[in-house]
Amino acid sequence: MKEIIISSLDHARISAAINNARSGGINAPINLNPLMEELDRAKILPPEKMPPDVVTMNSIVKMKYVNSSQTMQVQIVYPSQANPSEHKISVFSPVATALLGYRKGDLITIKVPVGLAELRISEIIYQPEAEGDLEL
């Protein structure tokens, strides 16, 4: 399994969001175990040491489907900021969980209604740590 990297700030904020959701802060049934497993196995770095090619919270990421020319662009946000029409997906979603901590060029596999889809992270358009935006 490929190593993933998460900033200490993201780790603390995501853990707090999970605790909030588990204590009734979210009404929809959601499986947070995959996200918790990713947090448990991640290498934790201070935000200022985060490599600029790693997907972090609030990153805007462009991906390309491996078996087609189709692309997808998303921003990983906290559940309260999620807005599919703006391509802002919750960190609790399977796609965001699959992306978090991976690097530009990495291949991810996500479950879609018709099976599995393979996508390559083709570009990190925006990463807060690289821009010094740590208060998002």
State pLDDT tens for residues 28-85: 556 888 899 999 999 999 999 999 999 999 999 999 999 889 999 999 999 999 999 9
Which residues, at least 6 apart from 105, have a Cβ–Cβ distance to it below 8 Å?
53, 120, 121, 122
- pLDDT at position 21: 85
Averaged pLDDT, 14-24: 86
**Residue 34 maps to a domain:** yes
Is position 9 within any domain?
yes
Flag whether 47 is in a domain.
yes
Q: What is the pLDDT of residue 31?
A: 80
Integer Cα distance of 104 and 75 in angstroms: 14
In a domain, 23, yes or no: yes
According to the model, what pLDDT value does residue 121 have? 97
pLDDT at 99: 95
Domain count for the chain: 1
CB 56 within 8 Å of CB 43:
no
- Alpha-carbon distance of 76 to 5, in angstroms, equals 15
Q: Which of 20, 44, 24, 31 is nearest to 101 (CA)?
A: 44
Q: Of the candidates 58, 55, 47, which has an alpha carbon nearest to the alpha carbon of residue 81?
A: 58
pLDDT at residue 136 above 70?
no
- In the numeric block, which tokens belong to residue 24? 């009734």
Q: What's residue 111's pLDDT?
A: 80
User: Comparing C-alpha atoms, which of 79, 66, 65 is closest to residue 32?
Assistant: 79
Average pLDDT over residues 104-121: 89
Percentage of residues in the chain with pLDDT exceeding 90?
A: 69
pTM over 0.85: yes
Contact 99, 76 (CB under 8 A): yes
Comparing CA positions, the residue from 43, 44, 49 lying closest to residue 3 is 43
CATH code for the domain in which residue 123 is found: 3.10.50.30
CA distance 84 to 33: 22
The parent domain of residue 75 ranges over 5-129
